[in-house]
Structure 1
Amino acid sequence: MRLGRTARIALRTAAGLGFAVIYVPLVLVLLNSLNPDRSAGWPPPGLTGRWWSVAAHNPGVRQALWVSVKAGLGATAIALVLGTLLAFAVARYRFFGRDTVSFLVVLPIALPGIVTGIALNSAFGTVLEPLGVGLGLFTVIVGHATFCVVVVFNNVVARLRRTAGSYEEAAQDLGASGWRAFVDVTFPLVRSALLAGALLAFALSFDEIVVTTFTAGPGVQTLPLWIFDNMARPRQAPVVNVVAAVLVLLSVIPVYLAQRLSADTATSSRV
């Protein structure tokens, strides 16, 4: 379809405005992290890396970063196991309620975070507290895993639906066991989808704040929670900008890598 000159200009203008709304605030956060003044005045009188050094030596920031990493890795591990098993069940087998299972797996990503957080908080209080397990890092990991499973499931199930099951059947016809066929044939075909799903799951967990607010116990503070708690402290504003910039950068990297993996795999399949 060919567009007229006016339509092309209108589309480019709309796209430019959309990107500006999304990315200009992020650029401002990065610039404010280099602002030598404590106030977020504009334009900044100069640039400095002083606040980055202050943030790097801040024990609260370092502890929050480590908690975020542990929560992200734990949620990603759970999501990889459950998401992959569910994807194979839905894509490779026919059973009663298969569409319902697929819908229920995807549903958590569409629910408002505050609804999921309240539901998990109530469930943990009802089930875990009588067993002596209170809110803490474990409940944060479980809470994050509820929506991280979705991205792993979607990536793997999409790959399996594009991959014929005859490959595995051919391997078994040649004498391979079910496990050997999976290791030698199926796993190499879905490996990049698993990696892309894991990267996206980690990125989702790393910057999650709503569900974390309802599932983190006393003393458990992720990087987004640290930012939220320190935003109202004027003297912490430069460090908050630095931590926010780091959070953006650490979230962008896995998303970019996942996108590259998906693009490379799509190109290879066409070839």
Structure 2
Amino acid sequence: MNDEQLMRYSRQIMLSELDYDGQVRLTESHALIIGLGGLGSPAALYLAAAGVGTLTLADDDRVDLSNLQRQIAHGEADIDHYKAQSAAESIGAINHHCRTQVITERLQGEALQHAVEHADVVLDCTDRFESRDAINRACVAAGTPLVSGAAIRFSGQLAVFDVRDSAAPCYACLYGDSGDEDQLTCAESGVIAPLVGMIGSYQALEALKLLSGCGTSQKGLSTFDGLSGQWRHFGLGRDPHCPVCQWRR
């Protein structure tokens, strides 16, 4: 790192848990963020500001006026532009050291697997089970840690699935492989603006810990009730009969 970077990241480098070596690991790391909406916006901005060297931003959706209430990576001038490109421009205004790779097509199949295999961590910031299931399968196959977030109405969820640990569960251990046909979306049910910022920021924090090697990754599932301000934590074990990860040893 040069002198400008040392000054930029000085408040993190002074943390004994992170230190200079941890910051170097961040600058050399690569995070894949799938979904640049309410969750992906704060996650991407904080990872870039914290010094993650490369961010791949994947989203085939375009910015809509109704997104601006909560999707802070985008502004009024970005309406009708691709969210991934808009987020990349916001990142560039924050930290020119952060390299961005923009994908404006829906990641699926071989393209999804390739993107996951080339990342050090994946942040699932999508809102559909079909996407979450595919991302989880790709992460299990590649052995890439997955940080999953969700937010609807006043309720948020956060989970880390680090399949490098043979005892760790995957997303399908928790939700199975059939999904919820009645799964709600923000467009259908609404969401309070700061909630997605909270969950997306927690996703960034967990990703930073995984990439830098500091701290301990969250275990199990955490849920947040925005109306009461209370967090709840649920232990989660690996399902030996999981249809996605049962082959792991």
**TM-score range normalised by the length of the shorter chain:** under 0.3
Please report the TM-score for the alignment, with normalisation by the length of structure 1: 0.19
The structure where strand makes up a greater share of residues is 2
Query: Which structure would you say has the larger RCO, counting Cα contacts within 8 Å and 6 or more residues apart?
Result: 1
